[in-house]
Structure 1
Amino acid sequence: MHSAIYSTKPGGKVMIIGMGTPIQTIPISAAALREVDLVGVFRYANTYPSALKLLSEKNERLPDISKLVTQRFQGLENIPAAFEMAGKVKDDKGNLVLKVMVDTAEAAPQRSSEFKHTL
């Protein structure tokens, strides 16, 4: 919640979805001074098609969602570090931690010539 409030532009909205605990401590003064609206959402399962359509259109009026992933880790061996980072509000350089991504894709293994034509 802290990261969402501080990273939202003045006058923006923060959607509160899937609260982890019944009582949260949030910087309400920061939200009020920056006129950030906090909006609770109870049901959202049926909104995925609309959201995907909006994102696929790449409308110039919508924010650049690529900026939501703020930290990236490569490989399965870095998952513990990624989880540790996800639990922080800011990284070691002072940057906000919004979304941590782990890329688990590995380069495709080279096939030997004897297997190229087999099914």
Structure 2
Amino acid sequence: CYKLPDHMTMEEGALLEPLSCGVHACRRAGVRLGSKVLVLGAGPIGLVTLAAAQAMSAVQVMITDLVQQRLDVAKKLGATHTLLIDKDDCAEDLAKKVREIMGVEPDKAIDCCGAESTTRLSVFATRSGGCVVIVGMGGAESKVPLINALVREVDIRGVFRYCNDYPAALALVASGKVNVKRLITHHFDITETAKAFETARHGHGGAIKVM
């Protein structure tokens, strides 16, 4: 258990769990001052990963998604670049677009989707000697351009939730470096619990985090 400082709300405390996932992903990727980061997926985990990367002093954070509305939210939260993609797009062509938009190849790619298409894009887009971290969990098996990663010495690392990252997440929120309250899009009374779960499940009204 971790005690919340008096100035933090219970809502902020509730969001330490997803933020810890983002912190752990960035730590696994080795995000640090000057990093250029590609985040795949602008859902809740992608957005907290964006926030964590910014807090760790990444100079560029680009985020991709299938839905423009999510990218608009990511832009408001500080993403330096966004890219609307389609699941049927060629990963190698998208990697070229990433390089064109960022002006460089990202040295870190964090896949918060876990779909085969985004994992492939992660590998193709990352610079030689860079690191790919797979956060999202897709199917049991996936085709990955392994030889491409091998010859370019791109590390591929897995993530399972978080590991002792709550203290860091708590410090980021308590210090004001990360404002998780911006992720809360809907509030419901206790009598509206069923509606709240349905809203969160289906993303009604652009739902990100529902309280």
TM-score scaled by length of structure 2: 0.30
- TM-score scaled by length of structure 1: 0.49
Structure with higher Rg: it is 1
Comparing both structures, which one devotes a greater share of its residues to helix? 2
